[in-house]
Structure 1
Amino acid sequence: MSSPIYSSPRPEFDAAMQEAVAEARRTFKFFWRELYWESRRIVPGLDLACVKVPFSDPPGSRNDDGPEVEHMWINDDVFDGQNVQGTLINSPRWVRSVAEGDHITVPLSMVHDWLYVIGGRAYGGWTVNCMRLRMSDEERLSHDEAWGLDFGDPNQVLVVPDWSKSNPAAEKAGEHPMALNMLKSLEIHLKQHPEDSRSSDDAGWTQLHSFALAGSAASVQMLLAHGADPTAITNSGMTSQQMAEALGWEAVVNLFQNHPARVCLKDGRLGS
């Protein structure tokens, strides 16, 4: 992917860019929700999905001719409720400690932006649009042509597609359309294979963990009704409720808090 990279003290620390980064982190949950459902599609629906991360060299090895921080993009993103992992897709201009193609792991707090693309239309890109606002019309057109994407009005960042007409039920429920479309098949599967409500993979993840992190209250409610264990812990020590809390999925968190076997955290330990 050919992408403009901003790297300087000023854009990173001025108020507008700080607000853009804060919005990107606040809305990261919608990026992850889209990636989760993308992983379940037979036919891919996303043209591109990536996360922007700041990079810097260790003290004593910095290139003094360039900026201290270089912001670059990683894709093939995986999120475990704490860290984002992916592959660096930019070739660094100044930073020497990483290279294009490196596997990158960073905490969510280091994510400065996210972007996914459907049919050439970009969703997210908060810092990108912050920079686009500062461009002339000609500069903005050149920028968008370099990316080959439709970023739209820089004053209006789209977070999710408009489902109000294509899937009003999902829009009203605050669910991804695929969550509602697959709910009946999930119910049928759980009735036929009740053990799957509690089974886990090699990392200790149950379906409850995955749906909680993706913010699907309807799926979580279905799993809990079929005996899913809200106290199950992944190998990294996270419950499904903590997954939902990590991204601020309030409706999912409320389901756990109101469940008879609700999970309470006391002094970092599980209780009830």
Structure 2
Amino acid sequence: MSESKIFFAEGESPEMLDAYTKAQSTFKYFWRELSWEHRRIVPGLNVACVKVAFSQQFPGNDKPTVEHMWINDISFDGDTIYGILINDPNELTNVSNGDEISIPVNQISDWLFAINDQTYGGFTIQAMRAGMTEEERREHDEAWGLEFGDYNHVLVVNKQTESPENLVEHPMSKNMKPGFVDFLKQNPDELNAADEAGFTLLHKETIAGNLSIVEVLLEQGADTAKKTAGGKTALDFAKQLNWEHLVPVLEGK
């Protein structure tokens, strides 16, 4: 993603601050899609990246210099986002293209993924497009090679308009349920196995918001009391990420 293909906004306008807030509150949908992308044999995403606010205090300046830049190769543990910086800073010297980055969700300024060249997220991009002429928007979209659509209606999940139920659960979570049941029957030790950070399948599927998969895990006897090395249960993550459809299931209600 070259600098020539990025349109910058001047200052921190109310519209841009609102875009940051919306991106942070909906990041869970980005991660849900990416969690399934990691399992696909044939990739389904054209692009998947997160915009982060980087800052540096320079001598003689009253305020830190802030630059918003993109990271990719994203992973997420429910608290922290990890990725690789893919932009060259204009002024900052404390980060470089290719650096490994780790930041909490409340420090991101945007996220973006695209399926069949149709974009989802991109709240700051849409805020900038709102101030462009039709010709500028066309040139902007051509430079990205993506279809950003209506800047007044930012999509967060695939087929959101025709299938609003996708806001609750990813279709692949439903479709993969029978296969996941078979997987657990053939690999019972995986049910409560934890990785080096203490994350079980129940933690990971909860973080990704996958209702059908979580239901299978619970039906097979997954331990809801298990905690990560950071001391969190799956229910803690469901509440933290505001996966409202998972909270009562994990509470056993």
TM-score by length of 2: 0.91
Single out whichever of 70-79 and 53-62 deviates more from structure 2.
53-62
Alpha-carbon distance in 2 for matches of 1:97, 1:5: 23
Aligned to 1:54: 53
The offset of 1:236, in angstroms, is 2.6
Correspondence for 1:6: 8
**Structure 2 residue matching 1:35: 3-state secondary structure:** helix
Match of 2:212 among 205, 208, 218: 218
How far apart in 1 are the matches of 2:247 and 2:142? Answer: 42
Q: Which runs of 4+ in 1 moved over 6 A?
A: none
Following superposition of structure 1 onto structure 2, how do residues 62-141 of structure 1 map, counting pairs within 5 Å? Answer: 68-141=65-138
Alpha carbon RMSD of aligned pairs, Å? Answer: 2.3
CA distance in 2, matches of 1:136, 1:172: 32
- Does 1:155 pair with 2:152? yes
Determine the C-alpha separation between the residues in 2 that align with 1:136 and 1:7: 15
Contact 1:217 1:251 in 2 (8 A): yes
TM-aligned CA deviation for residue 40 of structure 1: 0.8
Superposed CA offset, 1:23-66 (max 9, x none): 1112111101000000111111111100011111135387x9xx
- Distance in structure 1 (CA, Å) of the matches to 2:158 and 2:56: 38
Tell me the residue number matched to 1:184: 178
Counterparts in 2 of 1:5 and 1:223: CA distance versus 1, 3 Å: same
1:252 and 2:246 are equivalent in the alignment: yes
Q: Quote the sequence identity (%).
A: 46
Deviation track 1:227-249 (CA, whole Å, cap 9, x = no partner) reads 10111112232211122222210
Matched-pair contact (CA < 8 Å) for 1:6–1:71: no
The superposition leaves residues 51-93 of structure 1 with CA deviations (integer Å, 9 ceiling, x where unpaired) of 011111135387x9xx821110000111111111100011111
Measure, in 1, the Cα distance between the counterparts of 2:161 and 2:222: 32
> Which residue pairs with 2:31 in the alignment?
32
- Structure 1: segments with no counterpart, 5+ residues: 260-272
CA distance in 2, matches of 1:113, 1:237: 28
The 1:61/1:113 distance shift into structure 2, 3 A limit, reads farther
- How many equivalent residue pairs? 251
For 1:230 and 1:54, the matched residues in 2 are separated by: 35
* Gapped regions of structure 2 (runs ≥ 5): none
Q: Distance in 2 between matches of 1:155 and 1:163?
A: 15
- Quote how far apart the aligned CAs of 1:202 are: 2.1
Q: Contact 1:124–1:159 at 8 Å: present in 2 too? A: yes
Deviation for aligned residue 1:95 = 1.2
> Using the alignment, how far apart are the partners of 1:77 and 1:246 within structure 2?
20
Q: Which residue of 1 aligns with 2:228?
A: 234
> Are the aligned partners of 1:164 and 1:171 in contact in 2 as well (CA < 8 Å)?
no
Q: Distance in 2 between matches of 1:83 and 1:172?
A: 25
Q: Paired residue for 1:263?
A: none
Partners in 2 of 1:106 and 1:172 — Cα distance? 28
User: Residues 208, 26 of structure 1: CA spacing in aligned structure 2 closer, same or farther, 3 A cutoff?
Assistant: same
